[in-house]
């Protein structure tokens, strides 16, 4: 049997090509990796957080999110697309958290999750972007729409196979009731204890530098079984308006700098060896007899 026939058979039996499905199963940009991590021994921030709960079966279609530093009645999950009645779904928060799911199949990977605690004097919001394996629309419209008063909006979110990482700069838009806030302080805290503050520019954009602060791997932080190590961070900002204090936090995960476990020297060395291996080909071959085209 010809090799092409064998491969045709294999390809017919297996779900072969699916570039459009890539987002359905590829590396999520961070949050899923957190699921396998043991809980941190102590709180590393006082900001309100939305954290992944245990997901022992490794389910991709839903996840358990728990809250920390905030006491919401529900988690609101905003979808990037789908039927109007499913664009925002509220999930009651139980003691262990809330199990959330995509609004509908094929509406998009990223969903925006909001926990809100409100009183006459203050509004506290914890927010995050959760990546489901659910291909569909990009999160552009999801991020553009106003979900609550004071917002920290990633601009952009990491795409598939990407993530926030140490030593990288990422942009975040801070807006209040849909309008960009200029000169607004945005505070970054990381699981490894770094803390820094950035100011938004006149367009409301803060360029956040993720610190190179990963500690050596321990049971408490970092390792997630496979792939680059990840840790948590939170961005927070506050504003007073009309006699109310607004506090909003956005938390997600960031990974260690790829340079930490990679060697450019080794990489270049093997590349050079490959080049050297090809150099004999550059020697001019002996001339062929006239009229011999090698196809006789």
Partner 1 sequence: MLKTFFPTLSRFRLAVQLVMLFVSVYGSVFVGTYMADKISNNLPALSCAYDQMNGGYCVLIPTQHIIHHRIGEALVRAQQLTFGMVLPLLMSFVAFFAFFFVLGKAFCGWVCPLGTLQELIGKLGRRFGIGLRRAEAGDLGDVRRVRPVKWLLLLALVFVLPLLTGLGVTPHSLGNPYCDICPSRVATTLLTGSTEQLALRVNDGIGFGLGAVANLLIGFTLVGALAIRQPFCRICPLLAFNAVFQRLSPMRLAKKMHDNCGKCGICSEACPMDIPEIAREEGRKAYHEDCTLCGRCAEYCPQDDVIQLKWGPFALFSSRRDYYKAKVKGELPDGTVKPVKFVRNPADA
> Measured between alpha carbons, how far is 35 from 253 in angstroms, rounded to an integer?
11
The residue (of 44 and 131) whose beta carbon lies closer to partner 1 is 131
Tell me the closest approach of the beta carbon of residue 15 to partner 1, in angstroms. 4
The residue (of 119 and 279) whose beta carbon lies closer to partner 1 is 279
Size of the chain, expressed as the number of residues it contains = 296
The residue (of 70 and 79) whose beta carbon lies closer to partner 1 is 79
Q: Could you tell me if 202 and 174 are in contact, meaning their C-beta atoms sit under 8 angstroms apart?
A: no
Q: How many other CB atoms sit within 10 Å of the CB of residue 294?
A: 5
> Measured between alpha carbons, how far is 76 from 127 in angstroms, rounded to an integer?
9
Tell me the closest approach of the beta carbon of residue 7 to partner 1, in angstroms. 5
Tell me the closest approach of the beta carbon of residue 288 to partner 1, in angstroms. 7
> Measured between alpha carbons, how far is 223 from 263 in angstroms, rounded to an integer?
20
Distances (CA, A) of 286 to 276, 283, 292: 21, 9, 13
Tell me the closest approach of the beta carbon of residue 205 to partner 1, in angstroms. 15
Tell me the closest approach of the beta carbon of residue 140 to partner 1, in angstroms. 7
- Phi/psi for 68 (5° steps) reads -145, 130
Tell me the closest approach of the beta carbon of residue 274 to partner 1, in angstroms. 2
- Phi/psi for 33 (5° steps) reads -65, -25
Chain residues binding partner 1 by CB under 8 A are 3-4, 6-8, 10-11, 14-26, 58, 61, 105, 108-109, 135-140, 156-157, 159-162, 225-226, 258-259, 261-264, 266-268, 270-279, 281-285, 288, 292-296
The residue (of 48 and 135) whose beta carbon lies closer to partner 1 is 135
Question: Which tokens is 23 given?
Answer: 């987002």
> Measured between alpha carbons, how far is 250 from 126 in angstroms, rounded to an integer?
6
The residue (of 59 and 117) whose beta carbon lies closer to partner 1 is 59
The residue (of 95 and 291) whose beta carbon lies closer to partner 1 is 291
Q: Could you tell me if 197 and 206 are in contact, meaning their C-beta atoms sit under 8 angstroms apart?
A: no
């Amino acid at each position: 049997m010809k090799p092409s026939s064998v491969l045709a058979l294999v390809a017919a039996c297996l779900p072969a090509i699916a570039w459009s499905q890539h987002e359905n199963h590829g590396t999520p940009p961070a949050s899923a990796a957190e699921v396998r991590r043991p809980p941190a021994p102590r709180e590393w921030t006082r900001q309100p957080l939305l954290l992944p709960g245990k997901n022992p079966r490794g389910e991709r279609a839903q996840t358990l999110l728990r809250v920390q530093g905030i006491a919401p009645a529900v988690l609101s999950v905003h979808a990037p697309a789908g039927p109007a009645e499913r664009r925002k779904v509220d999930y009651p928060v139980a003691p262990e958290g809330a199990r959330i799911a995509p609004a509908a199949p094929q509406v998009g990977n990223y969903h925006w999750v909001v926990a809100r605690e409100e009183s006459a004097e203050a509004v506290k919001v914890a927010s995050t972007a959760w990546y489901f394996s659910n291909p569909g629309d990009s999160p552009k419209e999801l991020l553009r729409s106003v979900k609550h008063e004071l917002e920290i909006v990633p601009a952009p979110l990491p795409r598939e196979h990407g993530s926030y990482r140490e030593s990288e700069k990422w942009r975040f838009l801070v807006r209040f009731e849909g309008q960009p806030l200029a000169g607004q302080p945005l505070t970054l805290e990381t699981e490894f204890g770094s803390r820094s503050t950035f100011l938004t520019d006149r367009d409301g954009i803060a360029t956040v530098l993720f610190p190179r602060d990963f500690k050596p791997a321990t049971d408490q932080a970092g390792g997630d079984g496979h792939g680059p190590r990840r840790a948590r961070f939170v961005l927070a900002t506050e504003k007073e308006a009309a006699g109310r204090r607004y506090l909003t936090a956005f938390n997600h995960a960031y990974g260690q700098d790829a340079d930490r476990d990679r060697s450019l020297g080794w990489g270049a060395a093997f590349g050079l060896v490959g080049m050297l291996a090809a150099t004999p080909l550059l020697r001019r071959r002996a001339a062929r007899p006239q009229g011999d085209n090698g196809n006789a």
